[in-house]
Structure 1
Amino acid sequence: MIQRLSRRDLMRGSLLGAAAFGVPAILAGCGNPAERGAAAPATGAAARGVVTLGSNASDEVPKKALDTVIKAFTSNDLKINTVDHNTFQENINRYLRGTPDDVFTWFAGYRMQFFAEQGLAVDISDVWQEIGADYTPAFKAASTGSDGKQYFLPFTYYPWAVFYRKSLWQEKGYEVPATLDEFTALARKMKADGLSPVAFADKDGWPAMGTFDILNMRANGYDFHVSLMAGKETWTDPRVKQVFDLWRGLLEHHQEAPLGRTWQEAAQSLQQKKTGMYLLGMFVAQQFPESDRDDLDFFTFPEINPQFGTDSIDAPIDGYMVSAKAKNVAGAKALVKHFAQAASQNVATSLDPGTLAASSKADTGGYSALQKRGAELVSGAAHIAQFLDRDTRPDFASTVMIPAFQRFIGKPDDIDALLRDVEAQKANIFR
């Protein structure tokens, strides 16, 4: 079941104050295990001894933020194993069935539920009894398995939007587009001005998912999108083909050769004013030096179908789970409770400008202008999706949709055959 998060649910109570690594040797090789120190005795139910944390925060900014947050964890000794983000995500199933860490970074909603149903995560409902008042009902729903128990601790989240540099737009006289026609007209003007209109990268496989998500929600609405993600709709449906037709029309405005470019490189092209705009998560700010961050702004992707307007966005929630094979469950729960504290999330959002705190008790007074705008965007959305690879089965996202989108980008005129192949594979997976 996919949790459907409405704006009213998510905002209730606050303004959002709110590898292969299935084997330890490879985990150790990919990351740099480091002791995070706690000389203090264990407190409460936390067992003495080491707690291990498997982390996908491999980029410089989020890694620094996490390192700083866990320095304040003094209930147990802590060892963190950091693995490249994509490697972590692509091999998570083998990891959890092998010898996982006690706690691991993961995602809310469907992806959390999938591993909970497989018996690969520990029920942390007892933790939620202690910290539940710090979260809105929607955050709790996104942390709840199909059995009604909680398996996830929300830490931060971020919206997806179209980012741009204010100074470049002011210099060129660009205006925020309200419709797809205005968006394509703007892209043509940017190209005439010598810019690559839309920064684009899909070397890692997942960024293109955000483009599909927004085009599908704009053209066909949120309900159809989440139903498609749940395997309840056919990929040969004319409505899905329409999305790919729309996308094909936009590809001419995207950076060339995206399959050889990382999202970080595309973000740097935006920062360097070589591209005019970039559809990505707010974490794009991580690639901007602090001196340039006030020049970064965004708008929500424009209207395609008036029936749905711009009522839906992607706003993924990141957080932590306790693995079913945890050696120190009590210590793991103590760490999860540490992440739940508003003070921990305040540290993270102050060091990572592309994130917002999940806790309703977090201090938003220190948010940057960009972070405040991000919170406003989410608060104004009627429907909030988690992102394609979080709103559907992990195996379908990784083995079917990543190669499908990359195939489309490389050969955009073969839509019918592509969708037939996707549907055939989907039918084998969603049985």
Structure 2
Amino acid sequence: MSRRTLLRSTAVGVGAVTLPALLAACGSGPGGNKNEVTVGSNASDAVPKTAFQAAFDAYEKESGKKVKVNTKDHNDFQENINRYLQGTPDDVFMWFAGYRMQYFAEKGLLTDISDVWQGFTGFSDALKAQSTHAGKQYFVPYYYYPWAVFHRKSLFASKGYQQPKTWDEFIALAKQMSKDGTPVAFSDKDGWPAMGTFDYIDMRLNGYDFHKSLMAGKEAWTDPKVRNVFDTWRELMPYYQKGALGRTWEEAGQSLQQRKTGMAVFGMPHPGSQFPENERDDIDFFAFPEIDPQHGQGAVEAPIDGFLIARKSKNISGAKNLLTWLGKPKAEDVYLRHDPNNVAVNSGAETSGYSALQKKSAELVAGAQQISQFLDRDTRPDFASTVMIQAIQEFIGNPKDVDGLCNKIERQKKTIFSQTAD
């Protein structure tokens, strides 16, 4: 079954996928074990999986309590989150800030942790806002990572490539790179990686406010502003790796590491997890280029990941105790010692050991005028999964019929946004 089919069946609540096979929570039965907290984890890649385990081990040592981690494939976790939360979820689960959190809070599938937040320090008002729905907190932020255009420093130095600041310079660089090989790594088999490029082009052309309004269903996808996004994107496509719809993000990251491609629009962990440790210092990035000077490069895509408590948690007091610890700077310090591909959200976290890439990432986000979360986090999950994954993949497969594509998205958007989120 394809990822698109899985997502479609999940979002509308139908289909043949059985949740226990994908996201079975290994709970301890009715009432739960009060000395054990179960955690549903989407950290299936080796680096974050190891880092999270180190953090949970540190909590166990300090608290004397047990943490049982149930790790599932990252994509499977995201595709089946609706059923997971309505079924037999773990006490705590990993998820995303902003709209993605608010959506499930509105559906009554999360536990209010406003009491936990009363003891927190080091979180900005902006972070608290990303963790809040209807005046209550439901989310503990843990780290963030920016999206940008990543490349090898050594490749740019050896070839004399210069980091572009504008779209015209970006296209000129891609044209220059094409003489030496494939300029841009590109993948969308997973259904979400190309969304980052759409987001950036839209924010650079039309501004952050328009992009947020578009994601909220308040703008028409037939608006010339949206059509211009796809038309502009099409300028970059001749410089992409061929066969993007059959390539995973890991494979695209590996092509960057192997010098088969020159650059890629990625989140910070994506190239970081595909480079061996002794080569990570060679990773660099530049902010997604300016297209319209009116909007510049002020908006930065920087998703925030963290923890929530399911409403059906069997051990809410234990879950709150774990989240109280995870919200402390030292909890982030433990994690980041094992995963240098993210940036701490708590101002009290230790940053002296940051790599050059982490420092540059923190500076990029600190200087941002606006911060977006990512297309599939900034809009309704059902719209992202049943409409936008297919739409962007259709565009990649046939980038010429922009009018037809935008008309189709708008029809589907009207149907979905006219419905109450179920």
**1:198-277 map, 5 Å:** 198-277=184-263
1:393 aligns to what?
380
Q: Deviations over 1:73-108 (max 9, x none)?
A: 224222111111111111111111111111110000
The answer (yes or no) to whether the contact 2:27–2:90 under 8 Å persists in 1 is: no
Q: Deviations over 1:6-26 (max 9, x none)?
A: xxxxxxxxxxxxxx8864454
The answer (yes or no) to whether the contact 2:146–2:302 under 8 Å persists in 1 is: yes
Would the alpha carbon gap of residues 376 and 21 (structure 1) be closer, same or farther in structure 2, given more than 3 Å must change? farther
Q: Deviations over 1:224-252 (max 9, x none)?
A: 00000011001010000000001111111
Matched, 1:175 2:162: yes
Helix, strand or coil for the counterpart of 2:235? helix
**1:77-226 map, 5 Å:** 77-131=66-120, 133-145=121-133, 147-193=134-180, 195-226=181-212
| Separation of aligned partners in 2, 1:308 and 1:383 | 11
Helix, strand or coil for the counterpart of 2:59? coil
Aligned length: 397
The alpha carbon displacement at 1:290 in A equals: 1.2
| Separation of aligned partners in 1, 2:93 and 2:86 | 13
| Separation of aligned partners in 2, 1:244 and 1:203 | 19
**1:69-84 map, 5 Å:** 69-74=55-60, 75=63, 76-84=65-73
The alpha carbon displacement at 1:49 in A equals: 2.8
| Separation of aligned partners in 1, 2:189 and 2:21 | 26
Helix, strand or coil for the counterpart of 2:88? coil
Q: Deviations over 1:139-171 (max 9, x none)?
A: 1110001x1000000001000000111111111
Residue 60 (structure 1) aligned to one of 29, 34, 46:
46
The answer (yes or no) to whether the contact 2:23–2:80 under 8 Å persists in 1 is: no
Q: Deviations over 1:252-286 (max 9, x none)?
A: 11111011111111111111111111110001211
Which amino acid counterpart does residue 249 of structure 1 have in structure 2?
Answer: E
Which amino acid counterpart does residue 48 of structure 1 have in structure 2?
Answer: K
The answer (yes or no) to whether the contact 1:302–1:310 under 8 Å persists in 2 is: yes
The answer (yes or no) to whether the contact 1:22–1:94 under 8 Å persists in 2 is: no
Would the alpha carbon gap of residues 202 and 25 (structure 1) be closer, same or farther in structure 2, given more than 3 Å must change? closer
The alpha carbon displacement at 1:301 in A equals: 1.0
The answer (yes or no) to whether the contact 1:56–1:85 under 8 Å persists in 2 is: yes
Would the alpha carbon gap of residues 379 and 342 (structure 1) be closer, same or farther in structure 2, given more than 3 Å must change? same
1:310 aligns to what?
297
Would the alpha carbon gap of residues 149 and 224 (structure 1) be closer, same or farther in structure 2, given more than 3 Å must change? same
The alpha carbon displacement at 1:51 in A equals: 1.2
Per the normalisation by structure 1, the TM-score is: 0.89
The answer (yes or no) to whether the contact 1:47–1:328 under 8 Å persists in 2 is: yes
Matched, 1:372 2:359: yes
| Separation of aligned partners in 1, 2:415 and 2:353 | 49
* RMSD over aligned Cα atoms: 1.8
The answer (yes or no) to whether the contact 2:122–2:348 under 8 Å persists in 1 is: yes
The alpha carbon displacement at 1:358 in A equals: 1.1
Which amino acid counterpart does residue 233 of structure 1 have in structure 2?
Answer: E
Per the normalisation by structure 2, the TM-score is: 0.91
The alpha carbon displacement at 1:348 in A equals: 1.5
Matched, 1:414 2:401: yes
The answer (yes or no) to whether the contact 2:143–2:345 under 8 Å persists in 1 is: yes
**1:322-341 map, 5 Å:** 322-341=309-328
Would the alpha carbon gap of residues 414 and 144 (structure 1) be closer, same or farther in structure 2, given more than 3 Å must change? same
The answer (yes or no) to whether the contact 1:22–1:95 under 8 Å persists in 2 is: no
Residue 352 (structure 1) aligned to one of 336, 339, 347:
339
| Separation of aligned partners in 1, 2:17 and 2:84 | 6
Matched, 1:319 2:315: no
The alpha carbon displacement at 1:380 in A equals: 1.3
| Separation of aligned partners in 2, 1:233 and 1:263 | 30
The alpha carbon displacement at 1:34 in A equals: 12
Helix, strand or coil for the counterpart of 2:284? strand
The alpha carbon displacement at 1:134 in A equals: 2.1
Helix, strand or coil for the counterpart of 2:183? strand
5+ residue gaps, structure 2, are 1-15
1:293 aligns to what?
280
Helix, strand or coil for the counterpart of 1:71? helix
| Separation of aligned partners in 2, 1:301 and 1:358 | 22
Helix, strand or coil for the counterpart of 1:365? coil
| Aligned residues with identical type, % of pairs | 60
Q: Deviations over 1:270-325 (max 9, x none)?
A: 11111111110001211111111111110001110011111111000000100000
2:10 aligns to what?
none
The alpha carbon displacement at 1:343 in A equals: 1.2
Helix, strand or coil for the counterpart of 2:137? coil
Which amino acid counterpart does residue 85 of structure 1 have in structure 2?
Answer: H
1:48 aligns to what?
34
Q: Deviations over 1:171-227 (max 9, x none)?
A: 10000112111111110111111x210111111001011000000000101010000
Which amino acid counterpart does residue 128 of structure 1 have in structure 2?
Answer: W
| Separation of aligned partners in 2, 1:379 and 1:273 | 30
